[in-house]
Amino acid sequence: MKSLTYLGLAYNEFVGLVPHQLGNLSRLLYLDLGYNNELFVDDLSWISGLHSLKYLDMSGVNLSKTINWLQEMNKLPSLSYLYLSSCGLESMYPSLSYINFTSLTCLGLSENLFKHEVPNWLGNLSTNLRDLQPPKNALQGQIPVALSNIHNLRYLDLNNNQLTGQITESLGQLQHLQELVLS
């Protein structure tokens, strides 16, 4: 299985710990474990072995016990699509100043447990980012001006959070933005 490039296991009823041995599939480009709601991960360090990975969906997989999910995902230089919705994540690590997602095109983080300000590092994401979705959390504070740095952003969904203040004028600089959801 070392030549495996595509592993789609979504929408099944798998239970238990996601096997760390998945990290040995170094040629894997696509991994979809989404919506196996009885799966959990205790430690994501194995994911750094998937250095060729372009697509990762772990939506619905319980990641609440992982303490460094963002740092581990940041070790995937080719990652273009990252979906971690409904994973029980509690922090987007707002104190981090920089994240190195140079290839990221889509980031889906809806329905987690974030109860802090929208992190400024979101504005330092890849210039390739087109789709940013952290809705249905409890994100607080104002929309960071730094989001206007994501020049190719087409879809921004911040709905069902606890955002306050004015809508920043800097969002007007996003010339490619087609959908903005703040309800």
DSSP 61-95: SB-TT-S-HHHHHTT-TT--EEE-TTS------TT
Would you tell me which CATH number, out of the four given (1.10.10.10, 3.80.10.10, 3.40.50.300, 3.90.1170.10), belongs to the domain 6-181? 3.80.10.10
Summarised one tens digit per residue, pLDDT across range 50-100 is 999 999 999 999 999 998 899 999 999 999 999 999 999 999 988 887 788
Burial 66-90 (b: 16+ CB within 10 A, else e): beebbebbbebeebbbbbbbbbbbe
Reported as a single tens digit per residue, the pLDDT across 137-169 is 999 999 999 899 999 999 999 999 999 999 888
For the record, the structure tokens of 149 come out as 């740095």
17 bridge partner residues: 40
Residue 173 has pLDDT above 80, yes or no: yes
**Each residue's pLDDT tens digit, 99-136:** 888 899 999 999 999 999 999 888 888 789 999 999 99
Among the listed residues 152, 144, 150, the one whose alpha carbon sits nearest the alpha carbon of residue 169: 144
